[in-house]
Structure 1
Amino acid sequence: MIKNTLQKIYLGLIFILLYAPIITLVVLSFNNSKTRAKWGGFTGKWYVALFQNEQIMNALYTTLIIALLSALIATLIGTAAAIGIQAMRKRVRTAMMAVTNIPMLNADIVTGISLMLLFIAFRFSLGFATILMAHITFNIPYVILSVMPKLKQTNRRTYEAALDLGASPIYAFFKVVFPDILPGVFSGFLLAFTMSLDDFVITHFTKGPGVDTLSTKIYSEVRKGIKPEMYALSTLLFVSVLILLILVNVSPSSKEGSTRKYVSKKSKAARFVFRRLVPAVMAIVIIAGGFFYGSKRSVSGDNQVIVYNWGEYLDPEVITIFEEETGISVVYEEYETNEIMYPKVQSGAIAYDVVCPSDYMIQRMIENDLLAEINFDHIPNIKNIGTQYMEQSRQFDAENKYSVPYCWGTVGILYNKKMVEEPIDSWSVLWDETYKDNILMQDSVRDAFAVALKYLGYSLNSTDLDELEAAKALLIEQKPLVQAYVIDQVRDKMIGNEAAIGVIYSGEAIYTQLENPDLEYVIPKEGSNVWIDSWVIPKNAKHKENAEAFINFLCRPDIAKMNFDYITYSTPNIEARKLIEDPAIRNSTIAFPDASELERCETFQFLGDENDVLYNELWREIKSK
């Protein structure tokens, strides 16, 4: 009795672990609030918004088409390769299988980088074709692995007997051998399809601008948080898989014919629907949907501009308006961090026309001669950018020749007024044991060190080893008090009252206050970081005039205001600020702090490769304690 009870409890725990995350995701897909930390009421609007979101739908169908095509081609090549390997001598066959297994044992990141370098060396343009070739490449070994055991089980004498009876080799293969290995071939296809569907790392390194799969699209949204439309899509995918599993398990059994002499027409029709019609309809839906959504973003010729921007850092409607007004097609790609963006621009593998790096990265790109000077005669709307922001830009672009400010903000402390004892005005609160396990720190080497360095009274651009060691010791001392090192999670945790204090970007603070009025943001008295993200044009850009037209368009007050409403990060566009209807936002000290507060702030600077290595080494020491 006790044993049965324990077994049921154990089984129940397994089901909870497996399905609790899925149930949570399904519930969130019906949450009227954009944040997971707050229930805003029941709604189905995210499902409607999903099918209106061309970027997500395009990523979905790109994922499905690549998975389907790569699985089919890999299955054909892998099956043929397995047959060839099986026909080899034992020693050669063993050696070939060992070579075949290497890609499966290899780390995905190694495979991804290797394929990227190979494509670059042969001057392939990274895009849909390179992703497809990469997926076929890493899928083939899985097909071989699935087919080989079935080949070993086949009786070669039966095949030879068919030849002796006058059958051609091809006819004998398809009538004698293929039916025996078909389960292995089908398993290889399913495995290849699943591996392709789920891949991120290899896709990330081999994709080009304007091409996204679901995995890369979701990853690019990390900075601003996953869209609720993604919850809706994930729910639909789960339900689709569940329905397919039910159909497969309730479909008429193939054994019915062996136990009964007569098979009804109804049974035959049902078997045809389950085995032939359903897969055919699914394939048609995937291909038709892919062409429908893919054609909307297709571009050709020189009348285009290739944009490389942070994830969720521009209102998609702005792109539509720009294309309609100018006739210039926009190829849009997103990245997650400056450090991911830089090597892709530096390699020259993709000729981006417009990129939006942060201040210190712009300085690094200028020093490494990666940027072209902007012709400001083509950007008359630069007049709308406040002079103070142009002056601040001189800290990383000394002559204002290479960049145009897009968004700016500060780093500060967000705290819950109901969870702290008194108003906060200093970084010192991050070392207060009163708030142990209630403190959220940025999981970023420069941001974390900036907090410690400013608290100690040093520059956040310090390269003095003694100062950096002191900051490291301070961060190690703080570590037992920290609930978590986070990036985007700080928003939801603070909105949901899961922490009392968090280090956050000012643009995120505006959003969190709208969701939870108990939250307050402050720039500590010791000073902080004031940052600027600006538009630049890489030196190898192929459509420079189109790039300048795009930047000029974004400097238009109404367009700048649209982007401010969408991303909530402060705009340097003075005229756009005047268009903000809500006076509480227009005059917000978070979005637009007083000049006296900014006097205590510094902009990050590029400290050189050696100092970057030093910072990263110290950060690893902190995280390993």
Structure 2
Amino acid sequence: MKHNRLKQFFQDFYLALILLFLYIPIVTMIVLSFNNTKSRTVWGGFTTRWYTQMFQDSAIMNALNNTLLIAFASALIATVIGTIAAIGINSMKRIPRTIVMGINNIPMLNSDIVTGISLMLAFIAFGISLGFKTVLIAHITFNIPYVILSVMPKLKQTNRYTYEAALDLGASPLYAFFKVVFPDIVPGILSGFLMAFTMSLDDFIITHFTRGAGMDTLSTLIYSQVRRGIQPTMYALSTLIFVAVLVLLVITNFAPEKKSTGNATVIDTETIKRRKRNNQIKNGVLGLACTLILLVVGVSTYSRYTTTHSNELYVYNAGEYIDPDLIEEFEQETGIKVTYDVFETLEEMYPVIEAGGVNYDVVCPSDYMIQKMKENDLLAELNFDNIPNVKNIDPQYMEMSKQFDPENKYSVPYTWGTVGILYNTKLIEEKGLPVPTKWSDLWNPAYKGEILMQDSVRDAFMVALKKDGFSANSTDETELQQAKQDLIDQKPLIQAYVIDQVRDKMIGGEAAIGVIYSGEIMYIQDEVAAQNLPFSLEYVIPEEGTNVWLDSWVVPKNAKNKENAEKWINFLCRPDVAVKNFEYITYATPNKAAKEMLDEEIQNNKAVFPDAKQLKNCEVYRYLGDEADELYNSLWKEVKSD
């Protein structure tokens, strides 16, 4: 007995341990959805504001709308096509059927990224603009093989003699099919539909490669936030989805049981009829509800994606890199409908513009990428007659732009800043660490486990190159090999390679120092003050020099609304607009008239607006050519994989 109790204890403990590992992440997400701060490590009190903001966030609601519609529509269409195809395949002789099923299985065994890229190239080759319709077609395409695979086993189980007997008795082929064959294969059809719906709902890769401007599903929206830092509104949405699924599971698994007397189940004829009638009513209501949902979502989405605007603009920018209120303000002032889309990295943005599958009208890349786009003939010359507010841009930044746009023909500065070191004064003091002033401090063993590095090839190599006294734009293989080895030697000291998460980790007190962009410092200091944290975070430009970067607006050569794009640039160059935008994104503005309108304290903030002495030895990134890019990327892979 004691042995059995011990055995039962370990069985229960093992089960509890598994459930703990499965559900702790979900519980953590639910808790964070009620946290009054954006921090993942600091509890700021209970709140439901993220749920309110979620329903007010048009990006999330549009993504949810798109996700549900595409999942329903693609699953439904794929089920119809797949079922018909399965019937045709089943009627073939054995060898042709085997060959066709082998071909059908290839897309399922093939990597999703191959399918996604292939579909994107096919759409572009046939001149089809990427957007909602291409995502829907792509989802239908990759769902069909799974439907066929689900229906085929049920078709093999059907008795063809029963079908032939129905024909002999005078039934038409269609009538015989629906009365004899169809009832037998319904489970396979439903299974195929559910599989197609689930796969479409969860798909990212194929959606990512076939979507167009302003077209997001939940998967692509979440992905775009991952490296910048997922917003709490997404925790709220995920919590609601989890609760909805949980409720459905509870309803399904705790349905009323049949009444029984002893061992015999009491079911009379009337009960059977009543249950049959109730099931028919429930199925009818369920079918009607699904149809209504599909129609409502479909009509709204169809209207949004097919309504043509005589005055429109497609903007491509980094995430959270503009005050969203300004988009609405621009639309109201000009009557131009703006479709705003975001990219995660410049390396992600470039192939989209190069492929030309999506016609963006105005894009915001950085210095070296502008040079690359210009050299590859991807940019249109700007008509500055349409951008009179360019006069507000400080001449020193127009001069800086000449390093990548020699004649200032293709770009207008938007923001600028530096890459530097952010450090936690309290952690450094408590651990007796030296205050960082140089890049070489990031190789100090005393900082082991306390360093956050940028997960960016150019930024990481810039740190190592400047530490060694080399140019941030070096193409010398010997210098780059030395920088690579330095980065490998540094890895045991690093806590993590991250991008925008540096901000959240430093606010959460998770690290002592991190490499960060200067534009984050004002937001960080405001958060530290708002949360009344027991430490301060300071920013320093290293003595060896660093990268001084410049982000600018450009117009792609294939832009369909070039004049509207120039109106957009002119609008953002207006001093009052630039001030409002600066207060939202906190990245330094090159707009001289706007800077003069800021509080004197902000103008004198040397972390945001450093003086000439601080910028000594600083460099603007230049495009180094394809060969140099390949070398950098190859060495970076060695660093990350070592």
Provide the TM-score with structure 1 as the length reference: 0.95
Alignment of 1:319 with 2:331, yes or no, is: no
Q: 1:428 to 1:311 in 2, by over 3 A?
A: same
Deviation string 1:139-176 (CA, Å, 9 cap, x unpaired) is 00111111111112222222222222222111111111
**Greater mean deviation of Cα atoms: 53-62 or 70-79:** 53-62
Alignment of 1:383 with 2:395, yes or no, is: no
Q: Measure how far apart 1:267 and its partner are.
A: 6.0
Alignment of 1:166 with 2:170, yes or no, is: yes
Q: Distance in 2 between matches of 1:424 and 1:465?
A: 29
Q: Distance in 2 between matches of 1:295 and 1:41?
A: 41
Q: Distance in 2 between matches of 1:8 and 1:562?
A: 58
Q: 1:259 to 1:297 in 2, by over 3 A?
A: same
Q: Secondary structure at the match of 1:84?
A: helix
Partner residue of 1:427 out of 422, 430, 439: 439
Residue 27 of structure 1 corresponds to 31
Q: Distance in 2 between matches of 1:21 and 1:272?
A: 40
Partner residue of 2:113 out of 109, 114, 120: 109
Q: Distance in 2 between matches of 1:264 and 1:205?
A: 52
Partner residue of 2:509 out of 497, 501, 516: 497
Q: Measure how far apart 1:580 and its partner are.
A: 3.9
Residue 140 of structure 1 corresponds to 144
Checking the alignment, whether the CA contact within 8 Å between 1:34 and 1:227 is kept in structure 2 is: yes
**Greater mean deviation of Cα atoms: 188-197 or 418-427:** 418-427
Q: Distance in 2 between matches of 1:302 and 1:461?
A: 44
Letter in 1 for 2:149: L
Q: Distance in 2 between matches of 1:311 and 1:281?
A: 37
Q: Measure how far apart 1:289 and its partner are.
A: 4.6
Partner residue of 1:372 out of 367, 380, 392: 380
Deviation string 1:83-116 (CA, Å, 9 cap, x unpaired) is 1111111111111111111101111111011001
Q: Distance in 2 between matches of 1:254 and 1:543?
A: 66
Q: Measure how far apart 1:265 and its partner are.
A: 9.4
Partner residue of 2:634 out of 589, 607, 617: 617
Q: Measure how far apart 1:448 and its partner are.
A: 0.7
Q: Distance in 2 between matches of 1:55 and 1:571?
A: 26
Q: Distance in 2 between matches of 1:580 and 1:283?
A: 55
Deviation string 1:558-611 (CA, Å, 9 cap, x unpaired) is 222232233222222223334445x54443222212221122211111000000
Residue 519 of structure 2 corresponds to 507
Residue 594 of structure 1 corresponds to 611
**Greater mean deviation of Cα atoms: 239-248 or 288-297:** 288-297
Correspondence list, 1:6-25, <5 A: 6-25=10-29
Q: Distance in 2 between matches of 1:165 and 1:587?
A: 94
Q: Measure how far apart 1:430 and its partner are.
A: 1.1
Q: Distance in 2 between matches of 1:606 and 1:551?
A: 24
Letter in 2 for 1:546: N
Checking the alignment, whether the CA contact within 8 Å between 1:252 and 1:270 is kept in structure 2 is: no
Checking the alignment, whether the CA contact within 8 Å between 1:119 and 1:126 is kept in structure 2 is: yes
Provide the TM-score with structure 2 as the length reference: 0.93
Alignment of 1:339 with 2:351, yes or no, is: no
Residue 63 of structure 1 corresponds to 67
Stretches of structure 2 lacking an aligned partner (at least 5 in a row) = 529-534
Residue 581 of structure 2 corresponds to 563
Q: Secondary structure at the match of 1:419?
A: helix
Letter in 2 for 1:67: A
Q: 1:94 to 1:497 in 2, by over 3 A?
A: same
Q: Pairwise CA RMSD of aligned residues?
A: 2.3
Residue 361 of structure 2 corresponds to 353
Q: Distance in 1 between matches of 2:607 and 2:471?
A: 23
Alignment of 1:575 with 2:593, yes or no, is: yes
Residue 532 of structure 2 corresponds to none
Letter in 1 for 2:575: P
Partner residue of 1:306 out of 308, 311, 314: 314
Deviation string 1:491-526 (CA, Å, 9 cap, x unpaired) is 222121111111111122332232235211111111
Q: 1:90 to 1:298 in 2, by over 3 A?
A: closer
Checking the alignment, whether the CA contact within 8 Å between 1:309 and 1:356 is kept in structure 2 is: yes
Alignment of 1:539 with 2:557, yes or no, is: yes
**Greater mean deviation of Cα atoms: 392-401 or 130-139:** 392-401
Checking the alignment, whether the CA contact within 8 Å between 1:252 and 1:271 is kept in structure 2 is: no
Checking the alignment, whether the CA contact within 8 Å between 1:221 and 1:312 is kept in structure 2 is: no
Q: Secondary structure at the match of 2:341?
A: strand
Letter in 2 for 1:523: I
Q: Distance in 1 between matches of 2:577 and 2:266?
A: 70
Letter in 1 for 2:555: I
Q: Distance in 2 between matches of 1:562 and 1:278?
A: 49
Alignment of 1:604 with 2:610, yes or no, is: no
